[in-house]
């Protein structure tokens, strides 16, 4: 087991939860991800003045927004005064529209939501490759770090992106899974939402689940083979680029 519980990686904000430093994780060769360079988060539309001061102290230069166009327009970033550039890397959500239809038709069950979420995750490597290419190009540019990437909850699109990055850096899969599941402990944006759903159906929607993330990586391997091949052919991160990213984001 990793020492994830002791890592000082949660950034406490008043208007945003699930904001985390990806630094501190050990790789298979014993190196450690550097602190203070890459953060993952839920949306930044509720930041307070104190939160903006915190992001300023962190030195955030770039915010990569993985939300769909309507999501981003409905809840714009509350970063006035911060010298951070926002990069749009839109991944349109599809679960929402299917969920609304299922609710209207009285078909929302845990099994249906699990199927929708699994399909949604399996779709990431193909449908969202352009967005992830934008993210990894920014991650690979040292002038853009410290960098934050986020979606709405910081759970699904962000969770897959974080898993890709940590895997590319050589972090063991068990640790990648622990990072992914930690959303369940720190994201509170779901509180009060979806009251029309029964507990099991709601849980299938709001929880980060191992089966969802593993479905995404299974689809990736079915279409591209290894993760390294996907990074190179779909995201433009060749072996030299991966080595440079590791050199810059890992200690030692």
Q: Which residues are catalytic?
A: 151
Please tell me the distance from the alpha carbon of residue 85 to that of residue 57, in angstroms, as a whole number: 16
For the chain, the distance separating the N- and C-terminal CA atoms, rounded to the nearest angstrom, is 22
CA 28-243-32 angle, to 5 degrees, is: 35
CB of 124 closer than 8 Å to CB of 160: yes
Cβ neighbour number for residue 49 with a 10 Å cutoff = 12
| The residue to which tokens 């993952």 are assigned | 40
Residue 148, φ and ψ in degrees, nearest 5 = -115, 135
Please tell me the distance from the alpha carbon of residue 251 to that of residue 178, in angstroms, as a whole number: 21
Secondary structure (3-state) at 249:
helix
DSSP state of 53: H
Please tell me the distance from the alpha carbon of residue 120 to that of residue 187, in angstroms, as a whole number: 20
CB of 18 closer than 8 Å to CB of 187: yes
Secondary structure (3-state) at 10:
strand
- Say how many residues make up the chain: 252
Which pair of structure tokens corresponds to residue 174?
């068990």
Q: What is the largest CA-CA distance in the chain?
A: 56
Which pair of structure tokens corresponds to residue 207?
């929880």
């Amino acid at each position: 087991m990793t020492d994830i519980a002791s890592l000082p990686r949660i950034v406490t904000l008043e208007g945003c939860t699930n904001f985390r430093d990806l630094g501190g994780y050990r790789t298979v060769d014993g190196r450690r991800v550097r602190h203070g360079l890459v953060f993952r988060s839920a949306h930044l539309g509720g930041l307070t003045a104190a939160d903006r001061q915190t992001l300023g102290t962190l030195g955030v230069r770039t915010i990569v927004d993985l939300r769909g166009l309507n999501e981003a327009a409905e809840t714009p970033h509350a970063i006035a005064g911060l010298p951070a550039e926002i990069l749009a890397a839109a991944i349109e959500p599809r679960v929402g529209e299917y969920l609304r239809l299922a609710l209207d038709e009285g078909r929302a069950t845990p099994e249906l939501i699990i199927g929708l979420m699994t399909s949604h995750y399996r779709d990431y490597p193909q449908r969202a490759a352009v967005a992830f290419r934008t993210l990894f190009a920014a991650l690979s540019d040292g002038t853009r770090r410290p960098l934050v990437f986020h979606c709405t909850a910081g759970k699904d699109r962000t969770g897959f992106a974080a898993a890709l990055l940590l895997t590319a850096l050589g972090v063991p899969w068990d640790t990648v899974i622990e990072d992914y599941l930690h959303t369940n402990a720190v994201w509170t944006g779901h509180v009060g939402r979806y009251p029309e759903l029964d507990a099991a159906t709601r849980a299938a929607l709001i929880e980060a689940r191992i089966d969802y993330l593993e479905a995404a990586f299974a689809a990736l391997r079915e279409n591209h083979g290894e993760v390294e091949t996907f990074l190179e052919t779909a995201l433009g991160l060749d072996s030299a680029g991966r080595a440079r990213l590791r050199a810059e984001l890992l200690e030692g």
